[in-house]
């Protein structure tokens, strides 16, 4: 595997684990706001992000490449509402999509077919990630933080499996 691609994959492992930290930070806020359904949804999302990091980790080790874990920055802890959380979630997922697209370009430039195939899963996954975040955000914008509606959405998000 080309050095530049290997370094970028190691960086993406860190980015996926950072995503988990970010979603856990958001979940912690929701817990303090008595929004257990939002917190549950975000905790499930955090577990999913860890699994994404591990998917790249396992791919690299299967190829005999060394994974180098990098320091993870502290995520934001300042949130004012569920709407702000999902604005941040959608923005973050768009950023991750750009990172994945960059990895695809690097794999194509390196003519690294195994990495391109592995990354196609992430390309599809990011479509779903952005769709889910946008749906929740748009729903929250429609209700304009009206308390009874927030309670209803909280109950619905609490049903997420994972």
Looking up residue 20, the CATH number of its domain turns out to be 1.20.1260.10
Asked, for residue 48, whether it belongs to a domain, the answer is yes
Q: How many distinct structural domains can be found in the chain?
A: 1
- The whole-number pLDDT of residue 95 equals 98
Asked if residue 29 lies in contact with residue 85, where contact means CB atoms within 8 angstroms, the answer is: yes
What is the domain range of residue 12? 3-157
pLDDT at position 162 over 90: no
Is pLDDT above 90 for 85? yes
Q: What is the mean pLDDT of residues 112-118?
A: 98
User: Average of pLDDT values for 94-106?
Assistant: 98
Q: What's this model's pTM, rounded to 2 decimal places?
A: 0.95
Cβ contacts of 152-160, under 8 Å, gap ≥ 24 = 153/37, 153/38, 153/82, 154/35, 154/36, 154/37, 154/38, 155/37, 156/37, 157/37, 157/38, 157/40, 157/41, 158/36, 158/37, 158/40, 158/41, 159/37, 160/40, 160/41, 160/44
93 has a pLDDT exceeding 90? yes
Task: State residue 107's pLDDT score.
Answer: 98
Look at residue 23 in the predicted model and tell me its pLDDT: 98
| Residue 162, domain member (yes or no) | no
Q: How confident is residue 4, by pLDDT bands cut at 50, 70 and 90?
A: very high
- Rounded Cα distance between 38 and 48, Å, is 15
- Residue 86 binned pLDDT confidence (cut-offs 50, 70, 90): very high
In a domain, 60, yes or no: yes
Query: What pLDDT, in 10s, does the model give residues 5-59?
Result: 999 999 999 999 999 999 999 999 999 999 999 999 999 999 999 999 999 999 9
34 occurs within a structural domain = yes
Q: State the pLDDT at residue 34.
A: 97
Q: Is residue 145 pLDDT above 90, yes or no?
A: no
Residue 57 lies in a domain: yes
């Amino acid at each position: 595997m080309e050095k530049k691609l290997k370094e970028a994959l190691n960086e993406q492992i860190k980015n996926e684990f950072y995503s988990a930290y970010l979603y856990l930070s958001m979940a912690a806020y929701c817990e303090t706001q008595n929004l257990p359904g939002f917190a549950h949804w975000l905790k499930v999302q955090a577990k999913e992000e860890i699994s994404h990091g591990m998917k790249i980790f396992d791919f690299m080790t299967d190829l005999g490449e060394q994974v180098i874990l990098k320091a993870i920055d502290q995520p934001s802890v300042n949130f004012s509402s569920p709407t702000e959380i999902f604005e941040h979630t959608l923005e973050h997922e768009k950023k991750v999509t750009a990172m994945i697209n960059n990895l695809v370009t690097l794999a194509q430039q390196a003519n690294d077919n195994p990495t391109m195939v592995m990354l196609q899963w992430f390309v599809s996954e990011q479509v779903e990630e952005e769709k889910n975040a946008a749906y929740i955000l748009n729903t929250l914008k429609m209700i304009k933080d009206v308390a009874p509606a927030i309670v209803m959405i909280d109950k619905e998000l609490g049903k997420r499996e994972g």
